[in-house]
Amino acid sequence: MATLKNQTTCPYCGVGCGVNTTHDDQRIIAVSGDEDHPANQGRLCVKGSALHETTAMEGRLLKPRVDGREHSWNTTLDTLATRLEGIIAAHGPESVAMYLSGQLLTEDYYVANKLMKGFIGSAHVDTNSRLCMSSTVVGYKRAFGGDLQPCSYEDIDHAELMVLVGSNAAWNHPILYQRMVAAKNTNPDIKVVLIDPRRTATADLADLHLALKPGTDALIFNAILAALAERNALDADYIDAHTEGFDAALSAAQTSAGDLAQVAREADVPLIDLEQLVDWFCSTERTLTFFSQGINQSSSGTDKVNSIINCHLATGRLGRPGMGPFSLTGQPNAMGGREVGGLANQLAAHMDFSQSAFVGRVGRFWQAPNMATREGYKAVDLFEAIERGEIKAVWIMATNPLVSLPDANRVRRALEKCELVIVSECMANTDTLELADIVLPASGWSEKNGTVTNSERRISRQRGLVPPPGDAKHDWWIICELAKRMGYRDTFDYASPAAIFREHARLSGFENNRTRGFDISGMAELSDLAYDSLKPIQWPVNEQAPKGTPRLFADGHFFTPSNRARLLPVTPQAPKQQPSSEYPLIVNSGRIRDQWHTMTRTGRAARLLQHHAEPFIEIHPDDARRFQVEHLQLAELQNELGRYRGRIRITDQQRPGEVFIPMHWTRQFTQTGISGSLFAPEVDPFSGQPESKQGRATLKPLHMCWEARLLVREERSIEDHWWTRVPLNHCTSYRLADTEAVENWRDWCESHLGVPSLWLDDQAHKRFRAAGIHNNRLDWILLVEPSAELPDLAWLDSCFDVEIDLDTRRQLLDAKAPGEQATGAVICSCFQVREPDIISAVIEGADSAQALGEQLKCGTNCGSCVPELKELVKVHGVEKSA
**Quick one: 189 exposed, middle or buried, by C-beta within 10 A (0-12, 13-18, 19+)?**
exposed
Q: What is the DSSP string of 210-264?
A: E-PPTT-HHHHHHHHHHHHHHTT-S-HHHHHHHEE-HHHHHHHHHHHHS-HHHHH
Quick one: which of 650, 444, 363, 475 has its CA closest to 109?
A: 475
Smallest gap from residue 347 Cβ to ligand SF4 (A): 29
Closer Cβ to ligand SF4, 33 or 690, answer by number: 33
Closer Cβ to ligand SF4, 44 or 137, answer by number: 44
Quick check: 605 binds ligand SF4 (CB under 6 A)?
A: no
Mention every residue, 6+ apart, whose C-beta is less than 8 A from residue 698.
582, 583, 584, 585, 637, 638, 639
Closer Cβ to ligand SF4, 551 or 593, answer by number: 593
Smallest gap from residue 188 Cβ to ligand SF4 (A): 24
Report CA dihedral (802, 808, 813, 818) to the nearest 10 degrees: -120
Closer Cβ to ligand SF4, 176 or 708, answer by number: 176
Closer Cβ to ligand SF4, 96 or 175, answer by number: 175
Closer Cβ to ligand SF4, 71 or 179, answer by number: 179
Binding range to ligand SF4, per CB under 6 A, among 10-18, 89-97, 558-566, 740-748: 10-18
Closer Cβ to ligand SF4, 48 or 690, answer by number: 48
Q: What is the DSSP string of 536-584?
A: PEESP-SSS-TT--SSS-TTS--SSTTSSEE---------SS---SSS-
Quick one: which of 332, 329, 292 has its CA closest to 308?
A: 292
Smallest gap from residue 153 Cβ to ligand SF4 (A): 11
Smallest gap from residue 291 Cβ to ligand SF4 (A): 17
CA angle 495, 361, 558 (to 5 degrees): 105
Quick one: which of 460, 177, 150 has its CA closest to 319?
A: 150
Residues 12-71 that bind ligand SF4 (CB under 6 A): 12-13, 15-17, 40, 44-45, 47-48
Smallest gap from residue 32 Cβ to ligand SF4 (A): 11
Distance of CA 635 to the CA centre of its chain: 25
**Quick one: 72 exposed, middle or buried, by C-beta within 10 A (0-12, 13-18, 19+)?**
exposed
Smallest gap from residue 462 Cβ to ligand SF4 (A): 11
Question: In degrees rounded to 5, what are phi and psi of residue 481?
Answer: -65, -35
Closer Cβ to ligand SF4, 33 or 772, answer by number: 33
Quick one: which of 701, 706, 735 has its CA closest to 718?
A: 735
Smallest gap from residue 44 Cβ to ligand SF4 (A): 4
Quick check: 174 binds ligand SF4 (CB under 6 A)?
A: yes
- Helices and strands in the chain, H and E counts: 28, 34
Strands (E), 651-694: 658-662
State the first-to-last Cα distance of the chain, in angstroms, to the nearest integer: 59
Closer Cβ to ligand SF4, 16 or 575, answer by number: 16
Q: What is the DSSP string of 345-414?
A: TB-STT-BTT-HHHHHHHHHHHT-SS---S----HHHHHHHHHHTS--EEEEES--HHHHSSSHHHHHHH
Binding range to ligand SF4, per CB under 6 A, among 8-16, 106-114, 333-341, 731-739: 8-16
Smallest gap from residue 535 Cβ to ligand SF4 (A): 17
How many residues bind ligand SF4 (CB under 6 A)? The answer is 13
Residues 804/812, Cβ–Cβ less than 8 Å: yes
β-bridge pairing 324-327 and 438-441: unpaired
Report CA dihedral (83, 86, 90, 93) to the nearest 10 degrees: 80
**By three-state DSSP, how is residue 586 classified?**
strand
Smallest gap from residue 27 Cβ to ligand SF4 (A): 20
Give the whole-angstrom CA distance, residue 343 versus residue 874: 46
Smallest gap from residue 465 Cβ to ligand SF4 (A): 16
Options 170, 175, 220, 599; binder of ligand SF4; rule CB under 6 A: 175
Residues 290/304, Cβ–Cβ less than 8 Å: no
Give the whole-angstrom CA distance, residue 148 versus residue 144: 7
Site mask for ligand SF4 (CB under 6 A), range 739-778, x = bound:
----------------------------------------
Smallest gap from residue 498 Cβ to ligand SF4 (A): 24
Options 7, 8, 10, 565; binder of ligand SF4; rule CB under 6 A: 10
Q: Measuring CA to CA, how many Å separate 497 from each of 44, 105, 475, 493, 533?
A: 27, 10, 10, 11, 13
Binding range to ligand SF4, per CB under 6 A, among 7-15, 122-130, 493-501, 518-526: 7-15
Closer Cβ to ligand SF4, 300 or 327, answer by number: 327
Binding range to ligand SF4, per CB under 6 A, among 5-13, 302-310, 382-390, 614-622: 5-13
Smallest gap from residue 41 Cβ to ligand SF4 (A): 11
Residue nearest to ligand SF4 (CB): 48
Give the whole-angstrom CA distance, residue 533 versus residue 530: 5
Closer Cβ to ligand SF4, 593 or 696, answer by number: 593
Smallest gap from residue 47 Cβ to ligand SF4 (A): 4
Closer Cβ to ligand SF4, 12 or 395, answer by number: 12
Closer Cβ to ligand SF4, 17 or 219, answer by number: 17
Closer Cβ to ligand SF4, 16 or 139, answer by number: 16
Quick check: 290 binds ligand SF4 (CB under 6 A)?
A: no
Smallest gap from residue 174 Cβ to ligand SF4 (A): 5
CB atoms within 10 A of CB 110: 29
Q: Measuring CA to CA, how many Å separate 361 from each of 373, 411, 488, 588?
A: 12, 36, 19, 43
Residues 716-745 that bind ligand SF4 (CB under 6 A): none
Binding range to ligand SF4, per CB under 6 A, among 6-14, 162-170, 354-362, 780-788: 6-14
Smallest gap from residue 166 Cβ to ligand SF4 (A): 18
The residues of the shown chain that bind ligand SF4, judged by CB under 6 A, are 10, 12-13, 15-17, 40, 44-45, 47-48, 174-175
